[in-house]
Amino acid sequence: MKKTFVTKEQLDQIIKEYPTPFHIYDEMGIRENARKLNQAFSWNKGFKEYFAVKATPNPHILKILKEEGCGMDCSSLTELMMSERCGFEGDEIMFSSNDTPANEFKYARKINATINLDDISHIDFLEEVAGIPEIISCRYNPGGTFSLGTTIMDNPGDAKYGLTRPQMTEAFLKLKALGVKEFGIHSFLASNTVTNEYYPELAKILFKLAVELKEETGVHIGFINLSGGVGIPYTPDKEPNDILEIGEGVRKAYEEILVPAGMGDVALYTELGRYMLGPYGHLVSTVLHEKNTHKNYIGLDASAVNLMRPAMYGAYHHITVMGKENEPCDYMYDVTGSLCENNDKFAIDRKLPKISIGDVVVIHDTGAHGFAMGYNYNGKLKSAELLLEEDGAVRQIRRAETPEDYFATLEF
């Protein structure tokens, strides 16, 4: 059973001050999880997690992660600007972008972020618009499918990201000739993996590649970036990943492949988003309407504007009806938002306890790629974000949008 990190009593109090819908984040959960990740990789001297800012772009969240020793992984101008404003400097910022505009490369160079190139053609582009730095990384895409045992996890061959294997060699030689002193390798081969095997398998691929590239090109490889993709159990039947076991699996691959090649000084980086924040966010919403037609609908005051994943990918997000945690789930509902878009459903044919108008529901695992993916369709406004602090106090870390915000870019 999935548990909420706030009680009904706490929520009733919070709602008196901050009307629903809102996202709320659990500071204690975020910190404990970040500490466990750092512990899992503490065997690696240069280990650093670069939080994927896109998952939860809120300065208060970024600052918590900074205190836990994380850097930031950005892929746009505003993400770079936010990271800089939060006090991240130089090599504390990774710039893993794609289809990158010139001004974003310029900005990344200005603040000395580590650039992770997504394409071989970006070498000339970067040289022309901002110059080639001394430290640079390239993103690898092996193509084909990525499997664990007999299970296909994802299709890198269909992904727009990264350089092919021959391009990696060519790029390293070219960059070396342009004066690069230290190289990194990055790859992201499968998303939301709920298995302890993903990072160790990916590590083997990248460690072997690193040994080959070093032999072929003679460059110094300073870091290997395992990127994101460690997932979370959205459905209640799944077991969470064991990050200590994952760290141990990566350590074995490191000792088998890198250490014998004389590369025992390579730093490991991660760029986790979902794993860092996902479980530590709830979307809290109130039931506005019940509608019984061809199906039974529960209408919330939240919509896909606040959480797009179900509408966009059919993603499962667990729902708890507050105060009814122990009641039997003997009703079946579609739980909807108010957009004029039939995809705007948080759940379809979901078994839940009998719901009444005014009930408060928690939609789980919205801490990453939740608020952030929101949009303004139908002129609906984005919600507030709240932080449940370690001492139990609640702080608003982003106010809700107002109609004035929505109209701010228009003249009429």
Ligand X SMILES: *Cc1c(COP(=O)(O)O)cnc(C)c1O
Using CB under 6 A, list all residues that contact ligand X.
52, 54-55, 73, 75, 96, 188, 191-192, 227-229, 271-275, 368
Catalytic residue among 86, 138, 329, 340: 340
73 or 301: whose CB is closer to ligand X?
Answer: 73
Q: How many residues does the chain have?
A: 412
Least separation in angstroms between CB 350 and ligand X = 24
8-state DSSP, 149: T
At 54, is the secondary structure helix, strand, or coil? helix
Structure tokens at 298: 């529960």
Least separation in angstroms between CB 231 and ligand X = 7
| Phi-psi group of 131: left, alpha or beta (phi > 0 → left; psi -120 to 50 → alpha; rest → beta) | left
Structure tokens at 177: 């000739």
Least separation in angstroms between CB 51 and ligand X = 9
Least separation in angstroms between CB 203 and ligand X = 15
**H/E element, 299:** strand 296-300
8-state DSSP, 14: H
**H/E element, 55:** none
Handedness of CA 372, 373, 379, 384 (dihedral sign): negative
Q: Determine the Cα–Cα distance for residues 307 and 371; give it in Å rounded to an integer.
A: 6
Q: Within the chain, how many helices (H) and strands (E) appear? A: 12, 19
Q: Please, are residues 222 and 184 in contact by the beta-carbon 8 Å criterion? A: yes
Q: Determine the Cα–Cα distance for residues 229 and 203; give it in Å rounded to an integer.
A: 13
Q: What is the largest CA-CA distance in the chain?
A: 69
Least separation in angstroms between CB 276 and ligand X = 8
Q: Determine the Cα–Cα distance for residues 231 and 193; give it in Å rounded to an integer.
A: 5
229 or 353: whose CB is closer to ligand X?
Answer: 229
For residue 340, indicate whether it is catalytic. Answer: yes
For Cα atoms 370, 372, 373, give the angle at the middle one, nearest 5 degrees: 75
**Residue that is written with structure tokens 């079946």 in the block:** 332
Least separation in angstroms between CB 391 and ligand X = 28
The set of catalytic residues is 340
